[in-house]
Amino acid sequence: MSVTRNDVLYMANLARLNLPDDEVELLARDMNKILQYIDLLNNIDTEDVPPLEHVIEPDEHFRKDVALEPLDHDLALKNAPDADADYFRVPRVIE
Amino acid sequence: MATDQEIPVNQDTEFETVIGLEVHAQLLTQSKAFAPVSIAFGNPPNTNITPLCIGHPGTLPVLNENLVRYAIRIGLATGCRIAEKSIFARKNYFYPDLPKGYQISQFETPICYDGHVDITLDDGSTKRIRLKRIHMEEDAGKSIHDQDPYNTLVDLNRAGTPLVEIVTEPDISSPREAHAYLTKIKQLVQYLDICDGNMEEGSLRCDANISIRPVGRKELGTRTELKNMNSFRNVERALTYEIERQKHVVKNGGTIVQQTLLWDPVKMETRQMRSKEEAHDYRYFPEPDLPPVFVTREFLEEVKKELPELPYDRRNRFVNELKLPEPDASILTDERSIADYFEAVLSCCGPGSAKSVANLILSEVRRVLNESDLDIRAFSIGPERLAGLVKLKDSDKISSSAMQTIFNAMLGNDRTADEIAAEKNLLQVSDSGFLQPIVDEVIAGNPDEVARFREGKEGLIGFFVGQVMRQSKGKANPQMVKDLLMSRLKSSS
């Protein structure tokens, strides 16, 4: 399986990225290289190997359900590209 | 809710309907799913947040114990199997109220699976709806589109609020059944104390997958997904509308397109979601920031022990131990808060009064709650005061009509039944020293009636009781008056 220009554009759209043409070509080439490498792994017989989701052991310790002090409101909005006194502000997402 | 007009039931036999429901329940924890900050509703925007909630780099989620606990509770109550090990996954999509760019959810291994909910159909029979899975996840924030003409505003207070998603198999065959199923889920989450069950306020949310197929066909038809049904009634309406729409398309030679539809409660129709709102390629993968969830035998046992008595068991106990009629027990246990209130009253006046308490709640209390659209937890007569009223009635100190008068006088204040009964002069006299002279006087004053009674016209007892009641200005205990009259009338014959 190889990554086409359209695959790259589709993924770029999901991530809301605008890619210039030359980058689309570049990314398609890169992704194909990565997939070729994964194909190497596919040659190994993993028939009886359960999938490994995590390298760490399952955790039976949970956080106690306690609410602590929140992040300061002004501090939270300070790093936002745009905000008013109350809200984060982003370009309108519906018509 | 019952005042609206009924939706016409279509008696169409050509097609049958297949519905599967996904219900999101917002959990009543103290803190968020993965961050130690409050989930309280109604605070100023962007104040219940941590760096994690607003998607800052370098932050890590830590799982809230009560998210696991509450998910297991609903799992156990619906006969699910509880996974010893389950994992979280990232559901990736791009939207401003999801600052991380992914929702932490469960995909391949939910914590609960293979359960069932038994619903009661309109004809009284029971139908089993199988549950495919119940999984844990977090809520998104809130986007506000109508305050600023050029921008979308984002409030992240809700981001990270813990949810469980309860997913049925496509076992539901009509909008009525969907309604019955939701009613049952609401009842369960309230009994389990894990969610307030309020659909209008969004703490219970419901999406539906719906398709039709010719009767007798095995394969499922193409389904559509329905969203934005924010009340029980709207679920029923939206499903009814969508079934009719699909039938119309098929009957006119068209094909159903798989799509997501939004219910418009004002126009009473479904409309297609704009493509921008739709992003179905979620690219799930295991959440690397959270270790697999391991439910130990000890933890599971602990959760089992905390399970409250469930509606079905409680109803049976009311029938078997308190000797309530089955329909009364059913209504009393429909909502946990009503059943709790009933038992609180009973604990003040003893199990012997179960029937009187049940009657009073099912008639007077429910009438007041319905009229004022109140929850019983906000009802002005607390269990102790209501018990006081029941005690007066059960010890024959007041008549039935006096009970009603006193009940109404107790609304909206904190006066006891005893105070009001005394003040309004409603206490019945059961003192034979007071009643006997009146009885004797009535008998002496009506020799004709006495004679006719003794000749066998025993129906005249009503006349005598009435006379005594009048002379006592309505304060006499009628049963006692009757007893005294009978013994006098019969003994000297």
pLDDT at A25 over 80: yes
If one counts the domains in chain A, the total is: 1
Say what the pLDDT of residue B129 is: 98
Torsion of CA B326, B330, B332, B338, to 10 degrees: 160
Is B38 strand, coil or helix? Answer: strand
Determine, yes or no, domain membership for A27.
yes
Nearest CB neighbour to A63, from listed B65, B145, B286: B65
Window from A71-85, B125-139, B420-434 with minimum mean pLDDT: B420-434
Determine, yes or no, domain membership for A62.
no
One-character DSSP codes across B67-118: HHHHHHHHHHHTT-EE-SEE--EEEE---TT-TTSEEEE--SS-SEEEEEEE
Condensed to tens digits (0 to 9), the pLDDT of residues B328-372 reads 999 999 989 999 999 999 999 988 999 999 999 999 999 999 998
The answer to whether the Cβ–Cβ distance between B156 and A88 falls below 8 Å is: yes
Say what the pLDDT of residue B488 is: 86
Chain B residues 241-280 with CB within 8 Å of chain A: 274, 276-277, 279
CATH of the domain at A24: 1.10.20
Higher-pLDDT residue of B273 and B168 is B168
Residues of B in contact with A16 (CB under 8 A): 94
B307/B317 Cα distance (integer angstroms): 16
Condensed to tens digits (0 to 9), the pLDDT of residues B138-169 reads 999 999 998 888 999 999 999 999 999 999 99
Both tokens of residue A71? Answer: 């992040």
The answer to whether the Cβ–Cβ distance between A58 and B54 falls below 8 Å is: no
pLDDT at B429 over 80: no
Window from B193-197, B287-291, B472-476 with minimum mean pLDDT: B472-476
Q: Is the ipTM of this complex over 0.90?
A: no
The answer to whether the Cβ–Cβ distance between A63 and B64 falls below 8 Å is: yes
What is the distance in angstroms between the Cα of B309 and the nearest Cα belonging to chain A? 24
Amino acid letter at B372?
S
CA distances from B171 to A29, B19, B178, B237, B267 (A): 47, 6, 10, 19, 29
Average pLDDT taken over every residue of chain B? 91
Both tokens of residue B151? Answer: 């921008």
B167/B144 Cα distance (integer angstroms): 28
Collect all residues from A whose CB is shorter than 8 A from any CB in B: 14-16, 53-54, 56-60, 62-71, 73, 76-77, 82, 84, 86-95
Strand order across the B151-155 sheet: A88-91, B151-155, B142-144
Both tokens of residue B115? Answer: 């359960």
Residues of B in contact with A14 (CB under 8 A): 92-94, 279, 281, 283
Question: At A2, is the pLDDT very low, low, confident or very high (cuts 50, 70, 90)?
Answer: confident
Closest A-chain CA to B274: A94
Say what the pLDDT of residue B12 is: 54
Condensed to tens digits (0 to 9), the pLDDT of residues B194-215 reads 999 998 888 999 999 999 999 9
Tell me which fold the domain B432-491 belongs to.
Answer: Arc Repressor Mutant, subunit A (1.10.10)
Condensed to tens digits (0 to 9), the pLDDT of residues B381-413 reads 999 999 999 999 988 888 888 899 999 999 999
Condensed to tens digits (0 to 9), the pLDDT of residues B11-37 reads 556 899 999 999 999 999 999 999 999
Higher-pLDDT residue of B154 and B467 is B154
Mean pLDDT over B485-491 rounds to 84
Both tokens of residue B336? Answer: 């946990």
Beta strand pairing status for B260-264 and B224-227? parallel
Nearest CB neighbour to B65, from listed A65, A67, A88: A65
Answer for the pair B154, A90: CB distance below 8 angstroms, yes or no.
yes
Say what the pLDDT of residue A30 is: 95
Helix, strand, coil percentages (3-state) for chain A, rounded to 5, are 40, 5, 55
Both tokens of residue B108? Answer: 């391949």
The answer to whether the Cβ–Cβ distance between A59 and B50 falls below 8 Å is: no
Condensed to tens digits (0 to 9), the pLDDT of residues A60-74 reads 779 999 999 999 999
Chain B residues 58-87 with CB within 8 Å of chain A: 62-66, 68, 85, 87
Mean pLDDT over B93-117 rounds to 95
Say what the pLDDT of residue B84 is: 95
Q: Does B352 touch chain A (CB under 8 A)?
A: no
Say what the pLDDT of residue B7 is: 44
Question: At B425, is the pLDDT very low, low, confident or very high (cuts 50, 70, 90)?
Answer: confident
Say what the pLDDT of residue B64 is: 97
Determine, yes or no, domain membership for A65.
no
Domain boundaries, chain B: 4-298, 309-423, 432-491
Residue of A13, A38, A60 to mutate, testing the B interface (most B Cβ within 10 Å of its Cβ): A60
Say what the pLDDT of residue B313 is: 92
Closest A-chain CA to B286: A53
Say what the pLDDT of residue B296 is: 93
B268/B285 Cα distance (integer angstroms): 38
Residues of B in contact with A84 (CB under 8 A): 148, 153
pLDDT at B1 over 50: no
CA distances from B463 to B79, B247, B333, B478, B486 (A): 62, 68, 43, 12, 12
Both tokens of residue A77? Answer: 């909005």
Mean pLDDT over B88-94 rounds to 93
pLDDT at A53 over 70: yes
B152/A80 Cα distance (integer angstroms): 14
Question: At B472, is the pLDDT very low, low, confident or very high (cuts 50, 70, 90)?
Answer: confident
Condensed to tens digits (0 to 9), the pLDDT of residues B219-252 reads 999 999 998 888 889 999 999 999 999 999 999 9
Say what the pLDDT of residue B401 is: 83
Q: Does B46 touch chain A (CB under 8 A)?
A: yes
Nearest CB neighbour to A58, from listed B54, B95, B291: B291
Closest A-chain CA to B152: A92
Answer for the pair B94, B86: CB distance below 8 angstroms, yes or no.
no
What is the distance in angstroms between the Cα of B417 and the nearest Cα belonging to chain A? 43
Determine, yes or no, domain membership for A26.
yes
Residues of B in contact with A53 (CB under 8 A): 87, 286, 292
Say what the pLDDT of residue B473 is: 77
The answer to whether the Cβ–Cβ distance between B49 and A76 falls below 8 Å is: yes
Helix axis angle, B461-471 relative to B447-454, nearest 10°?
A: 150
Q: What is the share, in percent, of chain B residues with pLDDT greater than 90?
A: 66
Determine, yes or no, domain membership for A15.
yes
Which residue segment(s) compose the domain that A10 sits in? 5-42
Nearest CB neighbour to A77, from listed B46, B63, B294: B46
**Sequence-distant (≥ 6) Cβ neighbours of residue B207 within 8 angstroms:** B21, B22, B24, B225, B226, B227, B229
Mean pLDDT over A15-44 rounds to 92
Mean pLDDT over B469-480 rounds to 82
Both tokens of residue B451? Answer: 């004679």
Q: First and final CA of chain A: distance in angstroms?
A: 38
Residue of A53, A54, A64, A84 to mutate, testing the B interface (most B Cβ within 10 Å of its Cβ): A53
B412/B403 Cα distance (integer angstroms): 16
pLDDT at A1 over 70: no
Residues of A in contact with B291 (CB under 8 A): 54, 56-59
B330/B316 Cα distance (integer angstroms): 9
Structure letter (DSSP) for residue B52: T
The answer to whether the Cβ–Cβ distance between A63 and B283 falls below 8 Å is: no
What residues are paired with B22 via a beta bridge?
A: B167, B207
- Contacts for B311-314: CB closer than 8 Å, 24+ residues apart: B311/B187, B311/B188, B311/B191, B311/B336, B311/B339, B314/B339
Residues of B in contact with A73 (CB under 8 A): 44, 46-47
The answer to whether the Cβ–Cβ distance between B153 and A87 falls below 8 Å is: yes
Phi first, then psi, for residue A82 (nearest 5°) are -155, 140
Nearest to B487 by CA among B406, B432, B405, B419: B432
Answer for the pair B23, B204: CB distance below 8 angstroms, yes or no.
yes
Determine, yes or no, domain membership for A11.
yes
pLDDT at B300 over 70: yes
pLDDT at B277 over 70: no
Higher-pLDDT residue of B416 and A56 is B416
pLDDT at B274 over 80: no
Closest B-chain CA to A93: B152
Determine, yes or no, domain membership for A82.
no
Phi first, then psi, for residue B72 (nearest 5°) are -70, -40
The answer to whether the Cβ–Cβ distance between A16 and B283 falls below 8 Å is: no
A65/B29 Cα distance (integer angstroms): 7
Question: At B4, is the pLDDT very low, low, confident or very high (cuts 50, 70, 90)?
Answer: very low
Residues of A in contact with B153 (CB under 8 A): 84, 86-90
